[in-house]
A and B are shown apart, each in its own frame.
Chain A
């Protein structure tokens, strides 16, 4: 799978994103890492230009409830409905449901192992093969 790993906003914590980028690559995926401090608009642009199938957003600074929905909206506005959005970082339990509601399919907190993320990705493959919704513009409801 071709995956963009992105850091939206002013959040300067990039260790986790790099760990994840490397883990996904070692797991056989093609990974494009955006580097720090990207706007939601830039992230949408990168997903389009790189023809990515998924985008993983890393947020540790507390701005997830603002920035992540903006990326999701941006993708839908550009009619990129089949791209999968998932996230990780410091995202408290009580903020998660509203992110699932805007189309995020998984949220991974501290201590997540790469095995778990790779499992999530292969589940996605299975789901999309059987025609079940996984994309950001497809029916919400299912999440990891």
Chain B
């Protein structure tokens, strides 16, 4: 702990190496020297390859131009579809690597069988404590576990693409309901406008004033980026979305308790042998937790 307090002090004074060391400590499960829940973050998610990283790269430019700092936590930057662009998040935010106002760090969920919940929130808190003004979490919105990562963010931006397939994926993953703002990226491509219409009409089913906006943007041409950054600053979340996120967070905490339980191996074996029932297994792990 004393280690981490020293590192925090140095990180506050602007030492990047101490900051990254401290974040590693916390990622490895060591206690954080910063009070929990003090930082605010923006979660950016969406189907593989829709341009999340490219957009973040552009958002970084806008923020840096305005003199604001930005830290990015790139979660699992190797999505199944963009297989070719291996670990490509960082490489799409290139302008970032020379500015003192930008800090990017990569996280691998593969290292965290219990999910990222135990480290993500404290990492955001530390970044906030060290005066990083905009804290962004990028995660691929391809399935349940990714949704649970993004549910830890305070605001959620859903990035969708011009393909019908992209939108269907986002819907299937259940991110539509969580998003505070939706953007259709690649507006330079012909199908984008139609995609935006489709998403809008899908959303207006249960229409009220808290329905998220849908904007058209392009990370390539730069269209709509400033508007998006401004819209994000002004967006508020709705009680419905907040409740959904709290629910996802609870489920992740629950999963994490299960997956990191000392009884897990044992219980699995007993189940396999058929010597206990599923209900008994649940009871056993709950007692232990």
The segment from B86-94, B229-237, B267-275 found at the interface with A is: B86-94
Instruction: Spell out B's residues near A (CB within 8 Å).
Output: 16-17, 20-21, 23-24, 77-78, 86-88, 90-92, 94, 97-98, 103-106, 108, 111
Picked from A33, A39, A80, the residue with its CB within 8 Å of the CB of B91 is A33
Q: Is the CB–CB distance between A48 and B16 below 8 Å?
A: yes
Q: Which residue of B lies closest to A52 (CB)?
A: B20
Q: Is the CB–CB distance between B23 and A46 below 8 Å?
A: no
Q: Is the CB–CB distance between B97 and A51 below 8 Å?
A: no
Q: Is the CB–CB distance between B98 and A42 below 8 Å?
A: yes
**Size bin of chain A's contact surface:** 20 to 34
Interface residue? A11 (CB, 8 A) = no
> 12 A-B Cβ contacts within 8 A?
A30-B106, A32-B90, A32-B106, A33-B90, A34-B90, A35-B90, A35-B91, A48-B16, A48-B17, A48-B20, A50-B20, A51-B21
Instruction: Spell out A's residues near B (CB within 8 Å).
Output: 18, 21-22, 25, 30-39, 41-42, 45-46, 48-51, 78, 80
Q: Which residue of B lies closest to A18 (CB)?
A: B86
With a cutoff of 8 Å between Cβ atoms, the chain A residues found around residue B97 in the complex are 34, 38, 42, 45-46
CA gap between A42 and B103 in the complex, in Å: 12
CA gap between A126 and B104 in the complex, in Å: 30
CA gap between A62 and B78 in the complex, in Å: 30
Nearest-CB distance from A4 to chain B (Å)?
A: 9
Q: Is the CB–CB distance between A21 and B98 below 8 Å?
A: no
Q: Is the CB–CB distance between B92 and A49 below 8 Å?
A: no
With a cutoff of 8 Å between Cβ atoms, the chain A residues found around residue B16 in the complex are 45, 48-49
Nearest-CB distance from B32 to chain A (Å)?
A: 16
Q: Is the CB–CB distance between B98 and A45 below 8 Å?
A: yes
Nearest-CB distance from A99 to chain B (Å)?
A: 23
Q: Is the CB–CB distance between A35 and B108 below 8 Å?
A: no
Nearest-CB distance from A16 to chain B (Å)?
A: 13
- Secondary structure at the B interface, as helix, strand, loop or mixed, is helix
With a cutoff of 8 Å between Cβ atoms, the chain B residues found around residue A46 in the complex are 90, 97, 104
Q: Is the CB–CB distance between B103 and A49 below 8 Å?
A: yes
Say whether, besides A49-B20, A49-B103, A49-B105, A34 and B86 are in contact (CB < 8 Å): no
With a cutoff of 8 Å between Cβ atoms, the chain A residues found around residue B105 in the complex are 49-51
Q: Which residue of B lies closest to A41 (CB)?
A: B98
Say whether, besides A78-B17, A80-B17, A35 and B86 are in contact (CB < 8 Å): no
With a cutoff of 8 Å between Cβ atoms, the chain B residues found around residue A51 in the complex are 17, 20-21, 23-24, 105
- Beyond contacts A39-B98, A46-B104, A51-B20: 5 other A-B pairs, Cβ-Cβ < 8 A, are A21-B87, A31-B87, A33-B91, A34-B91, A42-B97
Q: Which residue of A lies closest to B110 (CB)?
A: A30
CA gap between A43 and B86 in the complex, in Å: 18
CA gap between A49 and B92 in the complex, in Å: 16
Q: Is the CB–CB distance between A21 and B86 below 8 Å?
A: yes
With a cutoff of 8 Å between Cβ atoms, the chain B residues found around residue A34 in the complex are 90-91, 97
With a cutoff of 8 Å between Cβ atoms, the chain A residues found around residue B92 in the complex are 35
CA gap between A49 and B78 in the complex, in Å: 19
Q: Is the CB–CB distance between A35 and B88 below 8 Å?
A: yes
Q: Which residue of B lies closest to A44 (CB)?
A: B97
CA gap between A31 and B97 in the complex, in Å: 17
With a cutoff of 8 Å between Cβ atoms, the chain B residues found around residue A18 in the complex are 86
With a cutoff of 8 Å between Cβ atoms, the chain B residues found around residue A35 in the complex are 88, 90-92, 94
CA gap between A39 and B95 in the complex, in Å: 12
Picked from B86, B88, B91, B104, the residue with its CB within 8 Å of the CB of A49 is B104
